[in-house]
Homo-oligomer: A and B are copies of this chain.
Amino acid sequence: MVPRYEIRLSGSGGQGLILAGLILAEAVALWGNRYVVQSQSYGPEARGTASRSDIIISDEEIDFPKALHLDVLLAMNQKALDINFLDLKEKGLLIIDADLVKDLPTTQAVSLPLTGLAQEVAQSPLSANMVALGALAVLTRQVSLPALQKTMAVHFKKEGLEKNSQALKAGARRARHWLSENSARSDGA
């Protein structure tokens, strides 16, 4: 049992992270039978392009719905990483878009070409959010791919659903590949 698990999706305004956060939260709650709070914070500086979506998962009702010690940080660009990295726990999981983040503050990051994969399998960088969800499902084991797909079917219309399902699967495949390549290193660490 994990009493509380905090995930932050961060990037820029056009990357669809709020939608990704909603889909992740619904999938965990509906198909995982857990409590979830999903939130967005906006400040007077919101006219800028920074975007973030927090998801808190718990086996119990969530009394304090603010993410302060992230178990997972997804950073879809350099600025998002720089702003949010200090909120990540020491042993937390950092997932970054290798296409858009160049300076890494740690050697422990999972660096995946999220935008490149979206372009490749869905012919659009806008599906990078679903590539990220697929990777996140494999790397965190907090939600299953079928649960995400069922929830996506509520949010996307037919054509978009097909493309974004391909994006989800591509992200999951690449994350599994990363795990297999890095398991030896992790085991020996």
Q: Which of A4-12, A31-39, A99-107 contacts B (4 or more CB under 8 A)?
A: A31-39
Indicate with 1 or 0, residue by residue over A10-46, a CB within 8 angstroms of chain B CB atoms: 0000000010001001101110011111111111101
Q: Is A65 an interface residue (CB 8 A)?
A: yes
Copies of this subunit: 2
Q: Which of A159-188 contact B (CB under 8 A)?
A: none
Interface range, A side? 20 to 34
A64 surroundings in chain B (CB, below 8 A)? 64, 66
Q: Is A109 an interface residue (CB 8 A)?
A: no
Instruction: With both chains docked as a complex, state the minimum distance between the C-beta of A19 and any C-beta of chain B, in angstroms.
Output: 10
Question: In the assembly, what is the distance between CA of A155 and CA of B69, in Å?
Answer: 31
A44 surroundings in chain B (CB, below 8 A)? 29, 33-35
Q: Is A61 an interface residue (CB 8 A)?
A: yes
CB distance A41 to B18 under 8 Å? no
Instruction: With both chains docked as a complex, state the minimum distance between the C-beta of A47 and any C-beta of chain B, in angstroms.
Output: 6
Q: Is A63 an interface residue (CB 8 A)?
A: yes
Partner of A66, one of B25, B40, B63: B63
Instruction: With both chains docked as a complex, state the minimum distance between the C-beta of A36 and any C-beta of chain B, in angstroms.
Output: 5
Q: Is A83 an interface residue (CB 8 A)?
A: no
CB distance B66 to A65 under 8 Å? yes
A34 surroundings in chain B (CB, below 8 A)? 44
**25 CB-based A-B contacts, threshold 8 Å:** A18-B22, A25-B40, A26-B42, A26-B46, A28-B42, A29-B42, A29-B43, A29-B44, A30-B42, A30-B46, A30-B47, A34-B44, A35-B41, A35-B42, A36-B42, A36-B43, A37-B40, A37-B42, A38-B40, A38-B42, A39-B39, A39-B40, A41-B62, A43-B61, A64-B66
A: which residues have CB within 8 A of B? Answer: 18, 22, 25-26, 28-30, 33-44, 46-47, 61-66
